[in-house]
Amino acid sequence: MKSPSKGAHSVNGTKRGYTIQAVVRAASILNAFQSTSEVLDLRDVAARVGLHKATTFRLLETLVETHLLERAGKQGYRCCIQPARTKRFRIGYGSQTSLLPFTATVSDSLVVAANAANVDLMVLNNGLSPRIALQNADAFVSEKVDLVIDSQINIGVAAQIAVKFSEARIPFIALDIPHPGAIYFGADNYKAGRIAGRHLARWSAKNWKSGPEQIMLLGVDAAGPLLNARLTGVLDGINEVSTFGHNIPAHHYDTKGGQFEATLDIVRRHIRRRRPERALIGAVNDSTALAALQAFREAGIERACAIAGQDGSLAAREEMRRTSSRLICSVAYFPESYGERVIRLALDVLKHKPVPPAVFVQHELLTAQNVDKVYPNDTWMKSPPERL
């Protein structure tokens, strides 16, 4: 019997004399791509397969010629077939709500990122309801998803949701509201609040000689102290820059999940009762900030307020571009970038890579002075493309 050729490939520990090394190398290059959306350059592929760059280049070009790979840009390559070894993970995503612009943007970015990573994303809407959030958790367990990304604000059911996933041995990532046993991804709420509070105080010192006579804090009590830490940060930021914060009344209101209509009604009633003359307003998100602004505007006393939002939403950015608007700032969280980062974090968890217990997003103060610099493409995004 003819002995296996030198350098023959091993399958299950057995030398196979009929293995063709060129085919093995070509297959290793195809398997270097984790999905059909991943783009790699020559250096990346050579490093992953452990071949010399010259050999890798010849193989890449051959695979392009045979339509198994395609060029992506000047130096990149993309795989045209789904590698058989790649596991298609199924991830459950519990969206907080479709009513808030911020969470809608997060959802859109997650869907795009999951598709690009060849992840099957099962999307359910928690609808700002603790009952529905619990039902959705049961659905994810029943469907045996590999991991859950949960965005729900009702801290009262956080422990129950955590137990469901723990007993099912399903890892999960909590967006914006920490949950027991979950990896946290989202805002550093207190830090974001302090950024806004400091700007409110500086604006007040510059524009109101007599200083503010009241502070309004628009929160979401269902989320407990975690989301409302933004408002604690607002107060501390005001006091850090000025001395008036300790000496004027602060009025805290629950906005029923941070929704526009509920906040509008609350602020209207506050205006009728308190007749504010110089009110600093710290809002838990941009929806409540814009609702407060509308209430003051309706009453004809817009100049009696100065409002700080949170999220850096498109609507808030448009408002800050209006001349003399009293939405004087918002803290940007860049929800459009959530998807790629969260899906990457989820895949690291599923591949048993080390991950931190908390991943915080970037925060940046947006004002009328810098909004065009931070978001230069807003006008382009709103305008329909010209016909060619």
Segment 59-65 mean pLDDT:
94
Residue range(s) occupied by CATH 1.10.10.10 in the chain:
18-79
CATH number, domain 189-332+365-382 = 3.40.50.2300
Give 359: exposed, middle or buried? Use CB within 10 Å, 0-12, 13-18, 19+: middle
CA torsion, ordered 101, 107, 108, 113, to nearest 10 deg? 150
**The architecture CATH gives domain 90-187+337-356:** 3-Layer(aba) Sandwich (3.40)
Ranges 62-71, 75-84, 261-270, 337-346: which has the least confidence: 75-84
Identify the band that residue 272 occupies on the pLDDT scale cut at 50, 70 and 90: very high
- Which residues make up the CATH 3.40.50.2300 domain(s) of the chain? 90-187+337-356, 189-332+365-382
User: What integer best gives the mean pLDDT of the chain?
Assistant: 90
Chain position carrying tokens 């100049």: 303
Q: Residue 94 has which token pair?
A: 């519990």
CB neighbour list of residue 30: distance below 8 Å, 6 or more residues apart = 63, 68, 69, 79, 81, 83
Q: Over 80: is that where the pLDDT of 83 sits?
A: no
Into which CATH architecture does domain 18-79 fall? Orthogonal Bundle (1.10)
Report CA dihedral (256, 257, 261, 262) to the nearest 10 degrees.
10
Alpha helix (H) residue ranges in the chain: 21-31, 42-49, 53-65, 101-116, 130-142, 158-167, 189-207, 229-241, 260-274, 286-298, 314-320, 338-350, 371-374, 378-382
Give dist(CA 303, CA 326) in Å, integer: 7
Could you tell me the pTM of the whole model? Answer: 0.74
Of 75-79, 296-300, 345-349, the poorest mean pLDDT is in: 75-79
Amino acid symbol at 97: T
Q: What is the predicted pLDDT for the residue at 382?
A: 57
68-72, 85-89, 141-145, 253-257: the lowest-pLDDT one: 85-89
Quick one: average pLDDT of 364-382?
Answer: 88
Read off the pLDDT band of 246 (50, 70, 90): confident
Q: Is the pLDDT of residue 139 over 50?
A: yes
